[in-house]
Structure 1
Amino acid sequence: MPLSRTASLLAIYPHITSRDRLLLQLLDDHQVLTTGQIHRMLFAARRTCQLRLNELAALGLVERFRFPRDGGGSQPWHWTLGHNGQRFQAAAHERPEPTARSSNQTVQRLSANPHLTHLVLTNDFFVRLTEYARRHAEARLDRWWSEQVTHKQYLTITADGHGLWTVGDITVGFFLETDTGTEALGSRVVAKLKKYGDLIRHGGARYPVLFWLASEQREENLHRLLPGQHTTVPVATATHASDPAARVWLARGSTSRVPLTELPSDHGAPIAENPNYDNGVFLL
């Protein structure tokens, strides 16, 4: 591909496919995805994925970085928007065009973000749902909101993500809390439920809060700390080793695991009838 990273956007347009545009939008929305995650969502063959990502990098549409693994080897390549990718997304959404310096700073700050592992893991939850939907015609991920968009829409909610998941004619909304095993379960994890309860009491969505946990031991410990069964906020748990689309979710007070579509989910009062809803957000 002869075009350089400094080529004008108009010169790059003939090389941008619809799949490329989808990838650029995903990276714009969710900041970073690994090679494996992009492959599972958008490509049939890993080699084809790798070649295409290298071509997009040559055009300056994406950028990549990775770190060594403790004990040897390397982590997977992490992909984010390159300068031309940031320019393209800015044009598509009528945002100010970034300078080369600001684009470079964005990539550097992301790569050095101490919460990068948490972000990649959170994204992987939704990647797994997307991958499942690719293989099952009756399933689809209707909504995948980042932490930033979720907070903007619900104000007091600090979920790591929000989604709407449909299988057949059943749609379930949920808030995701990704656990990496570093936070105290009682003082930090369980304490998060108060804000979800406040949202429900003000007429907001009564979506289950999904705690996606680092280990089975963490899951067992969390259930021992959860409040009693008859509380406002529906809660379910599963571990990173499980497929979130499968029958893996253990609801509070339950002894059997169920799929997402069997968890209680209420979208709340219609916006027009909810006095606490104003211009896309709940006023709590």
Structure 2
Amino acid sequence: MPQSRPASLLAIYPHITNRDRLLLQLLDDHQVLTTDQIHRMLFHARRTCQIRLGELYGLGLLDRFRFARDGGGSHPWHWTLGHHGHRFQAAAHHRPEPTLRTSRQTAHRLSANPHLTHLLTANEFFVRLTAHARQHPETRLDRWWSESLTTQQFRTITADGHGLWSNTDTTVGFFLEADTGTEPLRSRVVTKLDRYARLTRRGGPRYPVLFWLGSEHREEHLHQLLRGEHDDVPVATATHTRQPAETVWLPAGATGRVRLIELPSDHGQPVADNPNYHDDGDFAC
């Protein structure tokens, strides 16, 4: 059973650490993370992570849900903002105070979202980059934008995320297309790459489009579709089994794989469609 939850948000403040603030911001930006994902990004010991998440749940800062596994047992806990977490983030970003009903509806809709697996897959990509940077101080994930923020800023594209990845003094921008194997590649790829081409023609960034695929078969099929098509948009592929910071990316038309930091990247205008945007959505490791 959770601990009693104080009605006053101010009464919780002495219990909130800097790491807790970072976690609340991550969940505000990216909606849901599993215990394992949070552990790899923010904690050294898994047990410490589990205990802290339980404490934040008891304070009403986090909420959680999980599903039964076929054949018995349960899937891992999925964590999202609790009511006090929504209240804290609303205060931090000058948004209207959410009601308890609104917070509960948000959690319920997220848990029942048919695209939940896709959202977790896209988040996992950035989680792996973050975890890699923790072990390699010369690297940094300088930006992690969600699908909604990426769409808001670039408008004509519908990427699953956008990031800036740095290694020493080199920075590569990218757009992520996370594939769960549920959509036909041909129609999806053609439509999406046309939109990326229009973005670059308007003076926007010419970042590589990263297709993160569920199987080697899907990857091979995609490269067959890309032959001789959309040469104006840099595309590279890798599978979910690989660490995205490593030498795993196969550019379209190439025969060898390269590291993420080695992909071509032209930053163009910082934000193509919204010159008044102030970049406060970055995530730094």
Q: Partner residue of 2:186?
A: 186
For the Cα contact (< 8 Å) 1:141–1:163, is it kept in 2? yes
Write out aligned runs for 1:145-164 (5 A): 145-164=145-164
Write out aligned runs for 1:31-70 (5 A): 31-70=31-70
For the Cα contact (< 8 Å) 2:247–2:258, is it kept in 1? yes
Structure 2 counterpart SS, 1:158: coil
**Aligned-pair CA distance for 1:125:** 0.3
Deviations 1:30-65 (A, max 9, x none): 000000000000000000000000000000000000
Number of residue pairs aligned between Structure 1 and Structure 2: 277
Distance 1:78 1:13, change over 3 A: same
Deviations 1:54-111 (A, max 9, x none): 0000000000000012233211100000000000000000100101011000000000
**Aligned-pair CA distance for 1:169:** 1.1
**Aligned-pair CA distance for 1:188:** 1.5
Instruction: Determine whether 1:123 maps to 2:120.
Output: no
Q: Partner residue of 1:12?
A: 12
Structure 2 counterpart SS, 1:69: coil
Deviations 1:169-201 (A, max 9, x none): 110000000000011011123321000000001
- List gaps (5 residues or longer) in structure 2: 279-285
Write out aligned runs for 1:122-141 (5 A): 122-141=122-141
Q: CA RMSD in A?
A: 1.7
Q: How far apart are the structure 2 equivalents of 1:84 and 1:174?
A: 34
Deviations 1:106-143 (A, max 9, x none): 00000000000000110000000000000001000000
Normalized against structure 2, the TM-score is what? 0.94
Q: Partner residue of 2:264?
A: 264
Distance 1:12 1:249, change over 3 A: same
Distance 1:155 1:245, change over 3 A: same
Q: How far apart are the structure 2 equivalents of 1:270 and 1:161?
A: 16
**Aligned-pair CA distance for 1:227:** 4.3
Write out aligned runs for 1:112-261 (5 A): 112-228=112-228, 231-261=231-261
Q: Partner residue of 1:279?
A: 276
**Aligned-pair CA distance for 1:240:** 0.3
Moved over 3 A (4+): none
- List gaps (5 residues or longer) in structure 1: none
**Aligned-pair CA distance for 1:7:** 2.9
Q: How far apart are the structure 2 equivalents of 1:134 and 1:32?
A: 21
**Aligned-pair CA distance for 1:3:** 6.7
Q: RCO higher in 1 or 2 (8 Å CA, sep ≥ 6)?
A: 2
Q: How far apart are the structure 2 equivalents of 1:170 and 1:86?
A: 36
Distance 1:240 1:270, change over 3 A: closer
**Aligned-pair CA distance for 1:157:** 1.0
